[in-house]
Amino acid sequence: MKAIGFSEHLDIKNPKSLFEFETPKPTPKGHDLLVKVNAVSVNPVDVGVRRSGHGKLSKPKIIGWDACGIVEKVGSQVSLFSPGDRVYYAGSFKRSGSNSEYQLVDERIVGNAPKSLTDAQAAAMPLTSLTAYEALFEQLSLSQDKTSNEGKTILIINGAGGVGSVATQLASNAGLTVIATASRPESINWVKSHGAADVVNHRRNLVNEVHKLGYKYVDYILELKDIDSHWKEMCELIKPEGAIASITENRRPINLRLLTPKKAIFAWEWMYTKSYYHTPDMQSQHEILNKIATLIDNGELQCTLTQSFSPINANNLRKAHSLVENGHMIGKVVVVDWQK
C-alpha cells in the first residue's frame, strides 16, 4: 500500500520532510479494524511529532490522527463494526498513523461517520471533537443540562482553532455564556458564528479584556494555546471553586499555588490517554464520536472544515502542515482521496 511519512525532522519546505513510499498492508487482529482511508486531517500534533527529534529514523514514520474511511476487514474480537461501515476516528498515539491507504485502528475509539458529511468534512472532526468533549464534560465536569448552566461563563482561549471551534459550540449548546479569544476580524467572526457570546483579544491582557465585559470572574476556563503566557491571567480570572482545563504543554513550571486561595481545580486534557493506556473507559471515545455524529446530523453542531487539498500525496500533506505550522489556522484542513 501507499504511505506517506518521514525519516528526518526537516523543515516542511524540504521535499524530504514528508515523502511517499510502499509498505505492507496490515492485517487486523483482536479489536482491530482495517480501514481503507479516504480522507485525513492535519493537526498541531502532526506538526509537533514531525519536527521534534534528532537524527535519522531506521524506517519512515507514518503520522496522521484524523481519518474517515471504510472498514475493509475486522479482527476476531470486533463487535461494534462490520466490513463496509463508514467510520471516522482520531486513532492512537502509539500506532501507525492515518497517512496511508489502509490503517489499523481499535474499534473502541472509532465512531460511525456522520451521514450528512462528506469524507473530507468527517475527517476534520474526530480529534478536535473528542478533545473538546472530554475537556468540557469530563475534565471540567460540566453538566450537559442547560438549566444547571444558566448564568455560568466559560473563557475559551483560542476559540478559532480546531478544538476551540468545536468547544465553543458544545459549551454554548450546554447553556453556558461563551467568551472566546480571537484577534483578527476573520477569527472574531468565526467564533461568533460558532457560539461565542463575547470575544476578547488574547494579544492583550485577558484580565482587563474580560473585566471590560463586566465579568470579575469566569466559572470555567479552557486553555487551548500557550498556557505559559496566560497562566497568571487565568488564575486571576477563575472564580473561587471554579475549574481550568488545558491541552497545551507548559515549557515552564506551573505555579499551582496561585489557585490555592480559590480552591480552584486544574486538569490536563490529552485525547490519546484512553488509547495510550487502554483505560477502562476507552470505549467512551466510540460513544462520544457517535454522539458528535448525531449532533452534526441533527444540525446542532457545525463541521469546522475550512480548507482541503486533493489528492492525498506528500506535496498536499506538506501544504497542509505549512498551514497548521503558521499558527493562524481557522478551523481545520483536510487532504482527501488517494491519487490513482
Q: Determine the pLDDT at residue 265.
A: 98
Q: Which three cell numbers stand for residue 128?
A: 478536535
Residue 250 contacts by C-beta under 8 Å, 6 or more apart in sequence? 227, 228, 231
Q: What angle do CA 241, 244, 250 make, to 5 degrees?
A: 140
Q: Determine the pLDDT at residue 54.
A: 84
CA atoms of 267 and 273, how far apart (whole Å): 13
CA atoms of 148 and 292, how far apart (whole Å): 21
Q: Determine the pLDDT at residue 112.
A: 98
Sign of CA dihedral 286, 292, 296, 302: negative
Give whole-number Cα distances, 254 to 50, 68, 235, 244, in Å: 26, 37, 11, 13
Q: Of the candidates 247, 67, 279, which has an alpha carbon nearest to the alpha carbon of residue 163?
A: 247
Q: Of the candidates 112, 104, 103, which has an alpha carbon nearest to the alpha carbon of residue 30?
A: 104
Q: Pairing between strand 32-42 and 332-336?
A: antiparallel
User: Within 10 A of 319 (CB to CB), how many other CB atoms are there?
Assistant: 16
Q: Determine the pLDDT at residue 314.
A: 97
Beta strand residue intervals within 190-286, DSSP E: 198-200, 218-223, 238-246, 265-268
Give whole-number Cα distances, 134 to 19, 63, 131, 170, 274, in Å: 34, 23, 5, 11, 11
Say what the pTM is. Answer: 0.97
By the 8 A CB rule, do 140 and 241 touch? no
Q: Which three cell numbers stand for residue 240?
A: 473561587
Give whole-number Cα distances, 235 to 90, 225, 240, in Å: 31, 16, 10
Q: What angle do CA 166, 224, 134 make, to 5 degrees?
A: 55
Identify the segments of the chain with pLDDT beneath 50: none
What length is written for the chain?
Answer: 340
SS3 content of the chain, % helix, strand, coil (to 5): 30, 25, 40
**Residue 73 forms beta bridges with which residues?**
34
Q: Determine the pLDDT at residue 327.
A: 81
Q: Determine the pLDDT at residue 187.
A: 95
Q: Determine the pLDDT at residue 339.
A: 80
By the 8 A CB rule, do 101 and 37 touch? yes
Q: What angle do CA 116, 315, 333 make, to 5 degrees?
A: 30
pLDDT digits (tens, 9 = 90+) for 143-201: 999 999 999 999 999 999 999 999 999 999 999 999 999 999 999 999 999 999 999 99
By the 8 A CB rule, do 69 and 87 touch? yes
**Residue 332 forms beta bridges with which residues?**
305
